[in-house]
Amino acid sequence: MIAVSFPEEPDAYEALARLKDLDSQASVGVQGAAVVTREQDGRLTIKDQFGKDGYADTAGGGVLGLLVGVLGGPVGVLIGGASGLVVGSLFDDDDDEHTRSVLGDMSKSIRVGPPGLLAEVSETGPEAVDAVMAHLNGTVVRRSAADVELELAAAEDAQREAKKKARQELREARHKKHKDEVDAKVAEMKAKLPGHKHLSGAHS
């Protein structure tokens, strides 16, 4: 899996065309590729795409489709951020190889600004793809599909737990609000009782 960032807007589209050429020449196998932009709210929008073997719709196909979905969802916003910043407590640029996140590294490649490129490729070596991307001033982040799949599964679990926790907190907030409203209503009703002030003063 590769994620590529570019300094100028047209570069990602040219890179997608070059990947198609490499695939047609059998220099590199491209299962799926997509030009994506990150919106201010952190979502990813697919601007153009190429795929085969069930990848005709990249957003819904294979590992690449899952990657786009996760990096553009709540987990992706957390690890990549709408501003392109990484949450320091989770993923730090100084983290060593044992603590760095595969998804964190790839998410940082797709920032608000010029479009980036995400692709699932089969290659005997990095030279062909790297040469094309270097010609377009692209910066390549390359990670194995197995590592990406592993973290995608973990991200799915994390997102499920986050939703569960959010629902629980909302239920607790509603319960507290209802109790506060009931207490306020009871106090209001008591205040309207005849002799309430007298009874309150005599209470011990």
Question: Measured between alpha carbons, how far is 70 from 107 in angstroms, rounded to an integer?
Answer: 10
In angstroms, the CA 188 to CA 185 distance is: 5
Q: pTM of this prediction? A: 0.67
Cα radius of gyration (the chain): 26
Using one digit for the tens of pLDDT, what is the confidence trace for 57-112?
A: 555 567 888 888 888 776 555 554 443 333 333 444 444 454 467 888 888 888 88
pLDDT digits (tens, 9 = 90+) for 108-140: 888 889 999 999 999 999 999 999 999 999 999
How far lies 154's CA from each of 89, 149, 151, 158, 176, in Å? 17, 9, 5, 6, 33
List the Cα angle 155/100/40 in 5-degree steps. 60
Is the CB of residue 32 less than 8 Å from the CB of residue 49? yes
